[in-house]
Structure 1
């Protein structure tokens, strides 16, 4: 049996969304990605059991807040989402709040509740970090994320463990 889940990957421009998707799906990292226009798409296949396969459709949504209303077309059918920030840029935490609010208001499960969202604080390997673990934990809790994690896509820290 095969089950398909559409997962949104959203957040401010430059937080590492495309890098995350590439590391998670293909186990590659490069520092030279082109800016995502609209959305990009990747598939990760997980063998859940001998009889069950899970196919994650990861939708990497462009991170420009001014185009947020246009991005809503990509939300349709989403089962969950990953919202990312960059620990070296506190403004991306504010952006993450706006993205989370928008997803909660525009994407619902069958029972009308918001889809589950995880919060990823990326670039935790960097020495110029400006957001503390405590700030991230508090933000995640206050905004009803189901889970949060500090990641370093570059060093492949907590990438594969994030979506299991």
Structure 2
């Protein structure tokens, strides 16, 4: 389960991720496939498990021999979202070392979603998630100027001797407008696919909202009061 904000209640609740299938037959005709492209950045301190997370999600594999990312690594994941939609995810695994942070503005460019990860057995990596969130918010926004959706992932939940408890994570999530959070284990594959599907669902809904606003604006024949931009779907 993923902790997320519930707009209709103004509170918080747990949402189970459910697979959605398009049951429309289009009178027996094969529907035309549409393709959407999203760029997602994965950031956080060194050794929190970013590369392992990407490998587990894309290749369903885990490597015990760790090699630190130099600059940025790239991966592509193709999802069949429905009978008529395919999604291509560009995953940018960005190095967490201090010497690469000056390049983050270049790496963040055109991102539509973000994963900020920390290690449950490393308290400093948790405290530094706020630094990463502020960095993203200051350098990357959606077309309407709102922050890109950021998931907070607490990795290595399979290990004992954790240094961060759930109440602290919950407070950080609420206070700093993360889209959602969950514990993960790249090693065991726990909540890896679910957390990414959750983020994709958020990005899809935001994109549909922006497209709808754009279509409505193009149909106006008389001046109207400007609409308020859509906030972050959370």
Q: Identify the range of structure 1 (95-104 vs 59-68) with the bigger mean alpha-carbon deviation.
A: 59-68
Moved beyond 4 Å, runs of 4+: none
* Deviation for aligned residue 1:143: 1.3
2:121 to 88, 105, 112: 88
Structure-1 separation of matches of 2:95 and 2:58 = 18
* Deviation for aligned residue 1:71: 2.3
Between the two proteins, the alignment pairs up a number of residues equal to 164
1:160 to 193, 200, 204: 193
Structure 2 unmatched ranges of 5 or more: 1-33, 198-234
Deviation readout 1:21-50 (Å, 9 max, x if unpaired): 000010000121311011000011110111
Specify which structure has the higher proportion of helix.
2
Whether 1:147 and 2:180 are equivalent positions in the alignment is: yes
Structure-1 separation of matches of 2:99 and 2:134 = 15
Structure-1 separation of matches of 2:108 and 2:76 = 16
* Deviation for aligned residue 1:98: 0.7
Structure-2 separation of matches of 1:38 and 1:155 = 26
Structure-1 separation of matches of 2:170 and 2:64 = 27
Structure-1 separation of matches of 2:98 and 2:141 = 21
Whether 1:124 and 2:157 are equivalent positions in the alignment is: yes
- 1:138 is aligned to 171
Whether 1:71 and 2:76 are equivalent positions in the alignment is: no
Structure-2 separation of matches of 1:99 and 1:31 = 26
Deviation readout 1:98-129 (Å, 9 max, x if unpaired): 11000000001011111110000001111121
Q: Secondary structure at the match of 1:163?
A: helix
- 1:106 is aligned to 139
Structure 1 unmatched ranges of 5 or more: none
Higher relative contact order (CA 8 A, sep 6+): 1
Report the structure number with the largest CA radius of gyration: 2
- 1:28 is aligned to 61
Using structure 2 for the length normalisation, give the TM-score: 0.69
Q: Secondary structure at the match of 2:160?
A: coil
Q: Secondary structure at the match of 1:128?
A: coil
Q: Secondary structure at the match of 1:77?
A: coil
Q: Secondary structure at the match of 1:10?
A: strand
